Every structure is written in C-alpha cells, then in structure tokens.
Amino acid sequence: MQNEQQQVYTLARIENQIVDDLRDRLNELKSGNNDGMLVETHIRYLENLKKTADENIRALDDWPSTITLRQTIDELLEIGMVKNKMPDTMRDYVAAQKALLDASRAREATLGRFRTLLEAQLGSSHQQMQTFNQRLEQIVRVSGGLILVATLLALLLAWGLNHYFIRSRLVKRFTALNQAVVQIGLGRTDSTIPVYGRDELGRIARLLRHTLGQLNMQRRQLEQEVAERKEIEADLRAMQDELIQTAKLAVVGQTMTTLAHEINQPLNALSMYLFTAGRAIEQGQSGQARNTLTKAEGLINRIDAIIRSLRQFTRRAELETPLYPVDLRQTFVAAWELLAMRHQSRQGALSLPTDTVWVSGDEVRIQQVLVNVLANALDACSHDAAIAVTWQTQGRGAGGLYCR
C-alpha cells in the first residue's frame, strides 16, 4: 500500500512538472523568445517525463481511483508533444509574430514616403495660402466699407420708418388699445375701443369689441336672472310664511277643544270662588274672602297664560326677525301645553333635562318647530306616548338636540 501511495505521489509531481513546463513555454512566447531549439528542448523534457509516468502508470493499472490522474497526465503530454497541438500552435504563433513585424516595418516605410510627399505639398500650399490671405485681406477691407455704408443706410431707413410710420400710427393705436383694455380690466364695460383698420391691431380691436359686446349681453342676462331669482325667492318666502301660518292655525284648530275645556274649568271655579267670597264678605269673614280672592286671581293668571301662549303661537313671524336668547326648556314646555288635547288623549308624557339651555333665535319659530316635532312624535305612538328629550353643548356655538 505504501508503494502505491508513493507512485501516486510521483504521478502527481510529474503532472505539476508538465504543467510548469507548458506554462514556462507560454511565458517565453509572451516575452518574445521564439528560439526553435527551446521548443525541441521542451519536447525532449516532456518525453522523459512521459517515460517516468508510464513506468508508474503500469504499476497502478489495478487502481481505478487513479484513472482521472492518469488521463490528465496523458492529455497534458499530448498537448505538449503532439505536433498538431501545442508545438504547431507555438510555431504558428512565431510565424504570425514574424509576419506582424514585417507588416509593421512595411507600414513605417509607407508612412515615411507619405510624410515626405505631404511635406512637399504643404510647402507649396503654404505659399498659395499666403497669396490667398493677401487677396482675402483686400476683399475684407472692401466688404467692411460696403457693410458700414449699408449699416448706416439701414439705420437711416429704420429711423425714418419709426418716426414717420410706427410712431405716428402703430404706437398711438397700440396705446389707445392698451388704455381700452385697462378700462375693461377695471370693470368699465361701457368703454369704447377707438382702434380700426385691417392690420393686426385692427383685428385685435374688432375681436375685443365683439368680446366686450358678449360680456355686456351676458351681464344684462345675469342681472335679469338675479332679479328674477330674487323675486322668486321673495315669493317662496311669502309662500313659506303662509304655509307656516296655515300649519299654526291648523294646530290651533286641533287644540281649540282642549283650550275651551282648560278655560271652562277655571271659569267655573272662578264663579264658585267669587260666590264664596261674596258670602264671606256678607258674613264679615274678611280673611276667608281674601284667601278666596287670591285663589281666584291665580285662576285668572292661568287663563291669561293660556291665552297669551295661544296668541304668541299664532302670531305671524317676520322675515327679518332679530335673534334673542331663548330658554329652550321653557319653549318645550309651552309647545307641550299647546298639544295638551292630543297628548292627554294618548296619556303622553314629556321628559326634559333639568338644566336650562339658552339658544339664539326667534322664539315663535323655535316654538313652531318644536310643536311640529312633538306632534309628529305623538302621531308615531298609538298609546302611552313617552317622549324623552336630551341636549348637549359641544363648545361655543355648537350642540345637539335629541328626541326619542
């Protein structure tokens, strides 16, 4: 086993020697050393290595694991020794380098001849260029004088054109057109545009007059539409006021029976109190008469409050009524009292928060809205209507009202 390992090591060393030899030959080619004797020396060296490798390979024929190593050595030896591979390639490379060197020398010779011809031609061209330069200087001097004269004539022509044509016609017309545009920009749509003609300024003026006429027509149409809409808005407000008044009178008509009942009871009690007070006065019972009259006064105040709330509700609201602080809780109570006949027949109950909230508005209109809300809530309930109202504030000028 140790002998076979020694032979494998020898083969590996031979492989490295072959690779080093091939690499040295390539480096010699790159460095320009193309001696043919060196090629033969390398071939003989590789033949010696082949003999040594063959002796070791025959001893390792029974070792399959060394097949790859043996094949690698054979391929490397074949590359380095077979003529149609590396030797011929190296000879072809040497021949190509020689041909390249000959071509470089021929190119240098051709460039030398071309350089000589070019110097000769440049000498004659330089003399011709000097002659052409002298003639060109003469032409430039003459052309400069002509250009100067033409420039002076052009300046004189431009001055005359500006003084007698542009300033007298175009500038004045353009200034008038600009002033008209400024007046239109300031909102003076009745301004006139005193610019006419068939040139560009005249066309611009005609277009501006046409646009101004359309603007005036649209302005008149817009003013007419605004007036019509204001009239329609006034009619709608009047109609809305009539509808509100009709709705209030309808609510009043529905509550008249209840109001008659509410007033009839205090009147009957008032008659009884007055009769009792008269008997007490006849009997000299002034204290009892005073108490009876006090109770009668309370009934009178109650009747007055009922009538005042009805008058307040039926009063026509003005379109531009100023806003005042309104006690929202008290307004709810007044609206509920106006609906007494309807909620008493349904055994309705109204639950309000204990705190007082003040809102800015018209008390009559707020009461009208609350009457409608409570009436709708009563209509939605068949019996035992329980209406709960809550409110909350959410900072300055904001809040919420909830009815369920």
Structure confidence at residue 83 as a pLDDT band (50, 70, 90) = low
For 317-350, how does the pLDDT look when each residue is reduced to its tens digit (9 = 90+)?
Answer: 555 566 778 888 888 887 777 676 666 767 788 8
According to the model, what pLDDT value does residue 252 have? 60
Q: Is 70 exceeded by the pLDDT of residue 395?
A: no
According to the model, what pLDDT value does residue 104 have? 85
3-state secondary structure at position 97? helix
According to the model, what pLDDT value does residue 84 have? 62
Q: Is 60 exceeded by the pLDDT of residue 397?
A: no
What is the CATH code of the structural domain delimited by 321-404? Answer: 3.30.565.10
According to the model, what pLDDT value does residue 200 have? 73
Q: Give the Cβ contact number of residue 25 at 10 Å.
A: 22
Structure confidence at residue 256 as a pLDDT band (50, 70, 90) = low
Q: Is 70 exceeded by the pLDDT of residue 65?
A: no
What is the residue-averaged pLDDT of the chain?
Answer: 74
Q: Is 60 exceeded by the pLDDT of residue 34?
A: no
Q: Which of 177-181, 235-239, 350-354 has the lowest mean pLDDT?
A: 177-181
Q: Is the dihedral of CA 208, 214, 220, 225 positive or negative?
A: negative
Which string of b and e fits 305-317 if b means at least 16 CB within 10 Å? ebeebbeebeeee
More confident residue, 389 or 49: 389
Do the Cβ atoms of 315 and 295 come closer than 8 Å? no
Alpha-helical segments (H) within 162-285: 172-185, 200-282
Structure confidence at residue 264 as a pLDDT band (50, 70, 90) = low
Domain boundaries, the chain: 2-105, 321-404
Token pair in block for residue 194: 């005193």
- Terminal Cα distance for the chain, rounded: 108
Do the Cβ atoms of 379 and 343 come closer than 8 Å? no
Q: Which of 87-96, 215-224, 236-245 has the highest mean pLDDT?
A: 215-224
Q: Is 80 exceeded by the pLDDT of residue 139?
A: yes
- Which residue is it, tokens 């470089």? 104
Structure confidence at residue 300 as a pLDDT band (50, 70, 90) = confident
Name the pTM for this structure: 0.30
* % residues pLDDT > 70 (the chain): 61
CA distance 375 to 153: 99
Structure confidence at residue 127 as a pLDDT band (50, 70, 90) = confident
For residues 359-375, give the mean pLDDT.
78
